[in-house]
Structure 1
Amino acid sequence: VEAAITEAAYQTLYALYPKQRELFTQTRNNFIKLVRGDSSDNAGINKGILVGKLLALTILESRSSDNSQNQGTYKLINQTGYHQPDPTHPDQPFLSPRWGTVTPFVIQSGSQFRASNTVGNTLAGRRQFLRSEKYISDYNEVVSLGTRNSQTRTADQTEVGIFWGYDGAPKLGVPPRLYNQVVRVIAIKKNNTLQQNAQLFAFVNYAMADAGISAWETKYYYELWRPILGVRQGSPTTRAIPNWLPLGAPADGGGDNFTPPFPSYVSGHSTFGSAAFEMLRLFYGTDQFQFQFQSDEYNGATKDSITGRVRPNRTRSYERFSQAEEENFLSRIYLGVHWRIDQEEGRTMGRKIAKYIYDKLT
């Protein structure tokens, strides 16, 4: 089994990232050497390698026409309340406007769990939302807690915002890597069997894959502007603060912090994260679990782009999966890159997707 898993991982990684073949090959060979050292069944190991390769190639072939290569183009709607590039990074592209059309792994379509129409998907609907008490409340919250030099955001809230970042910086990657790291910590502490790990990581990553497709479908369906635009431009019910800056998604030594290059509603972090944490609750049958986690945003090596200093080691402790999920939820508000409604609807979407997939596969 170990040989099959190793070979399946190798074939998949090589297909997706061919430039790193040398690294993958060396790692694969080291793993196979360890497996052979623990077993006298060389014939069984060789069969495992073959099975892993065949499974990987079969799955890769099944995804060859899933529309993931169709990045598409994005046409701006030059109206109040609609997505525009981060004005502090005017050359920012529009990331994957067609990702919502990718064939999902388990759910039926990217629109199956589309978020509610609260923000409006017409000009009239958007104007109505911008006049709503909900929008005013979300605006006031992000100005209070998400401003770069906020006087109301606590040091712990700032740490939470950055801790759950993983906004694509080198050596950190993107949110699914973060949540896989969390799941790995939990699986180790739970003393999972090999079979339990295979099932858990498959379920979590199916959920996150379909959560990403669903979130991007919703993002480009509603095209809601980000706080940096909403605060700077103002609305009929909120004041404009022309030079407002959020704390921003951490660039981690790669330039100034930024607002991510895609619409605000719903939050990818919230959708990915809640899909992962809901799957953990379903898999283990409980929300109660004590664990600690150290983010690579605070690993004693990652440099903060605003202060120019290397951030210290930080480990945060949790009593429940939902406690970590809530931190992940709030983190994007503390960074000033999302409205609360993005987080709320993303959480709902992620949980629904995880439940659907769990029920479908068990």
Structure 2
Amino acid sequence: MPENALTSRRTPRRILRSALRSSPRRVALRRRALATAVVLAATGTVLAAAPQQARAALPAQSIADPVHYWNDVLQNVFRRVGGGPVPMARSAAMMNAAIYDAESSYQLKWKGKITSEPYIKAENYLGWAEGPDEEERVIGRTAYNILLGLYGNKQSRYADQTQYLDSRFRERFGTEPTAGDFLDLTVVGPMVKQMTDARTGDGSDNPQVYVGDNKPGAWRPTSYPDMPDASCDEDSDAISPFYGQVKPFSLASGSQFRPTALTQYGSYEALVASDAYKQQVEAVRTAGADKPTAATPVINRTPDQLAAAWFWANDNNGTYKPPGHMLQATREVAKARGLGVYANARLFALVSLAMADTGIAVRDAKFATPIDLWRPVSAVREGGLDPQWKPLLKSPTGVNVSPCFPAYVSGHASFGGAWAGVMKRYFGSDNISFDLTTDEPQAPVKTRHFTSFSAAGREDADSRIWLGVHYPWDATDGLALGDKVANQVFTTKLRTL
């Protein structure tokens, strides 16, 4: 849906009348308010009437930092709506970059400066004295309205999340989203508009469907009689096949860092005849099988690798998927390192921008290259190695499954590489110890310890081999792709002033 189709709950004219009545500087405010009303009418931002003269204290908060709070809301939206990880990464980038610009606006207005560049623009907005909880309100109302535009409108491709978003807004502020707040006029509206304008028409709603190449080595649906998957039964079920054409947030194009390991073969026939390909298939066949079979009697996977495989999974709907896992990891490291609100806003924006562009680059590698590589289950079964072989990855009902899109390169590995790449650049060191958690219900271990960001990214990548859904080159090249995108984002966006 177009993000400027947000649900408007009060008319700009009524808002203006209320705002102008309450202001002692009517002439100056009228000019600013009229201009801002045009902004708000275009975005449909949920708006306030007059500024409240006295505000009740915020309710007791279980999550102190507003950046963490709204990312928690976003993670729960991911759990509720399901779907592919790449659109989720786009949503995270939109919300967190808008939060960062809103927080930068607050810092510019009341702290006198910003220490890093805004993503689009920071607004030195109208105001004579800082209001109560103003930083919290600027961030929260911006985040809420971005999410409302993405997930709250009935035109959305997802189930309407308005009630959930409203409940989390009330939980945070103790008021209704439509309650009066003049910040909607002065700063929130411009922040929402500039982000929605930047992403409208970016190609993310491309309705085309995928048509496979129908050759040995080419991706095909991974539903089999003994591992049925109704969601991956036709070529057209392929998830986000044209997302590689979406306008990136920082890259010149989705193909800017396109990996080339498979292009050297030129054709599916040359690929599947190569020794390198056969080695790749054998590696995942023996490390990623669910159970031993007559043709695959031994599984080369340790108990710790099994635990890691499920720790990083988050493939099934009902989890926060890989983008949500990376946001959770960011939150856990940021909390342990004691980051403040402004620092958190920048870190989450960098991570989210890198994930969004990585997702676009991954879809380019999967679908826009000459070889759309089939999944290991297809290679092992249809290649004649083991007709009973199944990957370790299972649905919540215990049915073995593979993700419904080509293998090369791994999205998990690429997201892990992008996350690690941003984190080590942001903190100026890779060798930082931390603990991470998972919400994967099938994970036997919910917390794992790491001594570097690269180690976490590497384990995320390798976990896909142990789950039986990726080849080693999917993991290695995905990690490299993610790091290249992270470097691009870190060196060109939100740079330190």
Q: TM-score range by the shorter chain?
A: 0.7 to 0.9
Is 1:6 paired with 2:140? yes
Partner residue, 2:200: 64
Is 1:52 paired with 2:188? yes
Is 1:107 paired with 2:224? no
Question: Is the partner of 1:257 in helix, strand or coil?
Answer: coil
Partner residue, 1:296: 439
Is 1:283 paired with 2:426? yes
Partner residue, 1:169: 317
Which runs of structure 2 are paired with 1:86-235 in the superposition (5 Å)? 86-88=222-224, 89=228, 91=230, 92=232, 93-120=237-264, 122-123=266-267, 126-150=268-292, 151-170=299-318, 172-220=319-367, 221=369, 222-234=371-383
Partner residue, 2:458: 326
Decide whether the 8 Å contact of 2:222 with 2:404 is kept in 1: yes
Supply the distance in 2 between the matched residues of 1:293 and 1:75 (Cα, whole angstroms): 39
Decide whether the 8 Å contact of 1:3 with 1:49 is kept in 2: no
How far 1:62 moved relative to its partner?
A: 2.1
Question: Is the partner of 1:337 in helix, strand or coil?
Answer: coil
1:312 to 1:132, Cα distance in 2 relative to 1, 3 A: closer
| Matched-pair identity in % | 32
Question: Is the partner of 2:482 in helix, strand or coil?
Answer: helix
**Structure 2: gaps (5+ residues):** 1-134, 153-159, 293-298
Is 1:16 paired with 2:150? yes
Partner residue, 1:317: 449
Supply the distance in 2 between the matched residues of 1:161 and 1:71 (Cα, whole angstroms): 33
Question: Is the partner of 1:293 in helix, strand or coil?
Answer: strand
Residues 331-340 or 17-26, more deviating? 17-26
Supply the distance in 1 between the matched residues of 2:210 and 2:457 (Cα, whole angstroms): 31
Question: Is the partner of 2:450 in helix, strand or coil?
Answer: strand
Question: CA deviation digits over 1:254-307, x for unaligned, max 9?
Answer: x5131000001111111111101110011001011111122111xxxx3x4xxx
Question: Is the partner of 1:109 in helix, strand or coil?
Answer: coil
1:229 to 1:119, Cα distance in 2 relative to 1, 3 A: farther
Which AA in structure 2 matches 1:28? F
Selected match of 1:243 from 381, 385, 388: 388
Decide whether the 8 Å contact of 1:11 with 1:56 is kept in 2: yes
1:193 to 1:49, Cα distance in 2 relative to 1, 3 A: farther
Supply the distance in 2 between the matched residues of 1:14 and 1:263 (Cα, whole angstroms): 32
Supply the distance in 2 between the matched residues of 1:275 and 1:293 (Cα, whole angstroms): 16
Decide whether the 8 Å contact of 1:164 with 1:328 is kept in 2: yes
Supply the distance in 2 between the matched residues of 1:55 and 1:106 (Cα, whole angstroms): 18
| Moved beyond 4 Å, runs of 4+ | none
Question: Is the partner of 1:296 in helix, strand or coil?
Answer: coil
Which AA in structure 1 matches 2:420? F
Which AA in structure 2 matches 1:231? V
Supply the distance in 1 between the matched residues of 2:185 and 2:168 (Cα, whole angstroms): 14
Supply the distance in 1 between the matched residues of 2:445 and 2:457 (Cα, whole angstroms): 21
1:121 to 1:90, Cα distance in 2 relative to 1, 3 A: farther
1:243 to 1:227, Cα distance in 2 relative to 1, 3 A: same
Q: How many residues align structurally?
A: 333
TM-score by length of 1: 0.87
Supply the distance in 2 between the matched residues of 1:149 and 1:194 (Cα, whole angstroms): 47
Decide whether the 8 Å contact of 1:105 with 1:210 is kept in 2: yes
Question: CA deviation digits over 1:62-86, x for unaligned, max 9?
Answer: 2120110104111111111100010
Decide whether the 8 Å contact of 2:392 with 2:467 is kept in 1: yes
**Structure 1: gaps (5+ residues):** 35-42, 305-310
1:345 to 1:71, Cα distance in 2 relative to 1, 3 A: farther
Supply the distance in 1 between the matched residues of 2:252 and 2:211 (Cα, whole angstroms): 27
How far 1:246 moved relative to its partner?
A: 1.0
Decide whether the 8 Å contact of 2:210 with 2:241 is kept in 1: yes
Question: Is the partner of 2:439 in helix, strand or coil?
Answer: strand
Question: Is the partner of 1:289 in helix, strand or coil?
Answer: coil
How far 1:96 moved relative to its partner?
A: 1.2
How far 1:33 moved relative to its partner?
A: 4.6
Question: CA deviation digits over 1:90-138, x for unaligned, max 9?
Answer: 6411111111111111111111111114355742xx3333233322221
